[in-house]
A and B are shown apart, each in its own frame.
Chain A
């Protein structure tokens, strides 16, 4: 973060702490700060989620639209990410200030969701080669307190988990046109299978070690961070027990910041990333399933949109 000035000895204190796996706020190198997650907030969207991680605040909404699949991938749907850096977050985002960051995050998410092992786009197909669903994932950054990528990926997964797509029957008519039949029942819709959706973990290199979820002070001690996208474990998200143990694969790896790393540090970091992502995914699954059960049992009493 800009405007944060640390003296040399303060920095040394943080670096030594990280070396001993004990950070200034009492966490270990693998721990996240506590976060708050809510789903199903925006009535006008098909799925939505809000996440607050320390000072970072995000709102993600998923909109669906019917589209024509691209000719090279006739049986796949589409997904598109849009990041909007509101000037509310920091004054630096004013005008076109946040563009570079927004495009960077959107590209990273797109890369992470590209493989069918990360997110199966076949479930968005309506009629092969003719019609498919297109998901627009709009990410709104309301407050920016560092560690954006991790927060974005968590909120996106939660919003997709919350997304309900109406059941549509497609019938091929004469002349190659497709006729869509929508059910009258507004509750006749299907949930998306998001078990394998990737989570991004930012590993900030401090000294020779890496930490997840760095605070602003820790960020200023580091010149390079590594972002790994790791596919989720589907068995956490469903009650079926015969699911194969998949997930925990890299769907994207990227480096951020002006520094460079030694190969050994990189290897250690990606291993650390997998451990962190698995823990995070389990916690997210638990929270989301809890939230869904609560929503079914009692209609949520609404109080203040952003609390």
Chain B
């Protein structure tokens, strides 16, 4: 892996001291008990099927055509979308427009390790997953031979960052007035045995990725949906689980995605209203200025007549 030579990297085999602290030396059972108590309440006080409260807004980056910000408690994601431009380095004409996605973690975003400044395998995989989720959503035949750039910056990662990124990208694309078929929403579920953690935190995701000693189901599923059209635009699963588990998780995620749609619509409506208000205000200001100018002009004309 390429190293960043501008900073002191430490010896090659150095390990973060955090690795030896109590929090990291916990066994699987301890971690499991910690994430879910006897009453079925999670560490942050949520029930198993309860997603985190979502904060979303558009119009975050003034330089971008469209942008958004999505926050799921400690998962914070910024997305910006730029104007279509001609696809660089391409010889053939492409009938469909392309979407270029780039997901980037802030160096300080992850609790377990520092992120390198060069894109690593996980970032690339997330970028591909994001592109796959957005491709069926955007009316790509409307801008042939052009590409729309979607940039995601993950400020803090506390689990479900892919679904947060997809939600943010959907909002930003709508804010940039890119034609789309439907509102896209996404949700993640982490599975440990019989328990399904909806909208997992980073600790819960970590627990679901560790392979347990017994052959129980475990893993993470992310699903993104166009709820009105009842279409799944992307589905990714890792871990190990049987059919019943996948089907059950799909039903849960389906509902969760549908639940997010009115929230997204609310944000978008607020965005449109805000746009109208700004335009109105600008028009009024322009009118006022014009009137002032006209008045000045009349004054000058009068002066000219006198002389």
A231 contacts B by Cβ under 8 Å: yes
Q: How far is the CA of A270 from the CA of B245 in the complex (A)?
A: 12
Tell me which of B33-41, B46-54, B211-219, B265-273 binds A: B211-219
Task: Kindly provide the distance from the CB of B259 to the nearest chain A CB, expressed in whole angstroms.
Answer: 16
* Residue of A with least CB distance to B184: A260
Q: How far is the CA of A266 from the CA of B250 in the complex (A)?
A: 10
Cβ-defined contact, B136 with A260, below 8 A:
yes
Q: Residue-by-residue, is B72-103 near A (CB-CB < 8 Å gives 1, otherwise 0)? A: 00000000000000000000000010000000
Given that A116-B211, A117-B211, A263-B254 are known contacts, is A248 also in contact with B242, CB under 8 Å in the complex? yes
Cβ-defined contact, A270 with B243, below 8 A:
yes
Cβ-defined contact, A115 with B124, below 8 A:
no
Given that A107-B125, A115-B211 are known contacts, is A262 also in contact with B230, CB under 8 Å in the complex? yes
**Contact partner of A253 among B19, B229, B237, CB < 8 A?**
B237
**Contact partner of B13 among A68, A118, A253, A270, CB < 8 A?**
A68
Q: What residues of B have a CB within 8 angstroms of the CB of A293 in the complex?
A: none
Q: How far is the CA of A250 from the CA of B238 in the complex (A)?
A: 8
**Contact partner of B242 among A111, A250, A252, CB < 8 A?**
A250
A114 contacts B by Cβ under 8 Å: yes
Task: Kindly provide the distance from the CB of B256 to the nearest chain A CB, expressed in whole angstroms.
Answer: 13
Q: What residues of B have a CB within 8 angstroms of the CB of A252 in the complex?
A: 236-238
B109 contacts A by Cβ under 8 Å: no
Q: What residues of A have a CB within 8 angstroms of the CB of B260 in the complex?
A: none
How many residues of A are in contact with the other chain, CB < 8 A?
Answer: 37
Query: Which residues in window 1-60 of B have CB below 8 A to A?
Result: 13, 15, 19, 24
Q: How far is the CA of A79 from the CA of B132 in the complex (A)?
A: 27
Given that A72-B19, A260-B136, A267-B247 are known contacts, is A117 also in contact with B235, CB under 8 Å in the complex? no
Q: Residue-by-residue, is A236-277 near B (CB-CB < 8 Å gives 1, otherwise 0)? A: 000000001010111111111011111100110011001000
Given that A258-B135, A262-B232 are known contacts, is A117 also in contact with B215, CB under 8 Å in the complex? yes
Q: Residue-by-residue, is A100-120 near B (CB-CB < 8 Å gives 1, otherwise 0)? A: 000110010001001111100
Q: Residue-by-residue, is B192-227 near A (CB-CB < 8 Å gives 1, otherwise 0)? A: 000000000000000001010001011101000010
Q: Residue-by-residue, is A259-302 near B (CB-CB < 8 Å gives 1, otherwise 0)? A: 11111001100110010000000000000000000000000000
Given that A258-B96, A259-B136 are known contacts, is A104 also in contact with B128, CB under 8 Å in the complex? yes
A34 contacts B by Cβ under 8 Å: no
Task: Kindly provide the distance from the CB of B202 to the nearest chain A CB, expressed in whole angstroms.
Answer: 14
Q: What residues of A have a CB within 8 angstroms of the CB of B246 in the complex?
A: 250, 253, 270
Cβ-defined contact, B232 with A111, below 8 A:
no
Task: Kindly provide the distance from the CB of B241 to the nearest chain A CB, expressed in whole angstroms.
Answer: 6
Cβ-defined contact, B231 with A262, below 8 A:
yes
Cβ-defined contact, A103 with B124, below 8 A:
yes
Q: What residues of B have a CB within 8 angstroms of the CB of A111 in the complex?
A: 238
Q: What residues of A have a CB within 8 angstroms of the CB of B136 in the complex?
A: 224, 258-260
A176 contacts B by Cβ under 8 Å: no
Cβ-defined contact, A255 with B132, below 8 A:
yes
* Residue of B with least CB distance to A104: B128
Cβ-defined contact, B231 with A261, below 8 A:
yes
Q: What residues of B have a CB within 8 angstroms of the CB of A253 in the complex?
A: 221, 235-237, 246
A304 contacts B by Cβ under 8 Å: no
Q: How far is the CA of A231 from the CA of B218 in the complex (A)?
A: 14
Most buried by A among B217, B229, B240: B240
Cβ-defined contact, A107 with B121, below 8 A:
yes
Task: Kindly provide the distance from the CB of A95 to the nearest chain B CB, expressed in whole angstroms.
Answer: 11
Q: What residues of B have a CB within 8 angstroms of the CB of A118 in the complex?
A: 240
Q: Residue-by-residue, is B98-131 near A (CB-CB < 8 Å gives 1, otherwise 0)? A: 0000000000000000000000010011001000
Task: Kindly provide the distance from the CB of B201 to the nearest chain A CB, expressed in whole angstroms.
Answer: 18
A26 contacts B by Cβ under 8 Å: no
Cβ-defined contact, B254 with A251, below 8 A:
no
Cβ-defined contact, B237 with A249, below 8 A:
no
B234 contacts A by Cβ under 8 Å: yes
Most buried by B among A244, A253, A259: A253
* Residue of A with least CB distance to B16: A71
Q: How far is the CA of A144 from the CA of B7 in the complex (A)?
A: 43
Cβ-defined contact, B236 with A260, below 8 A:
no
* Residue of B with least CB distance to A273: B243
Cβ-defined contact, A251 with B232, below 8 A:
no
Q: How far is the CA of A218 from the CA of B234 in the complex (A)?
A: 22
Cβ-defined contact, B232 with A263, below 8 A:
yes
Cβ-defined contact, B132 with A256, below 8 A:
yes
6 additional contacts (CB under 8 A) given A115-B219, A117-B211, A244-B215: A72-B24, A103-B124, A115-B238, A249-B217, A253-B221, A262-B230
A-B contact pairs, 24 of them (CB 8 A): A68-B13, A71-B15, A103-B124, A107-B124, A107-B125, A114-B209, A114-B239, A115-B219, A117-B240, A224-B136, A249-B217, A249-B241, A252-B237, A253-B221, A254-B237, A255-B132, A256-B132, A258-B96, A260-B226, A260-B231, A260-B233, A262-B230, A262-B232, A263-B232
Instruction: Pick the 5 closest A-B CB pairs, nearest first.
Output: A116-B211, A260-B136, A253-B237, A115-B240, A117-B240
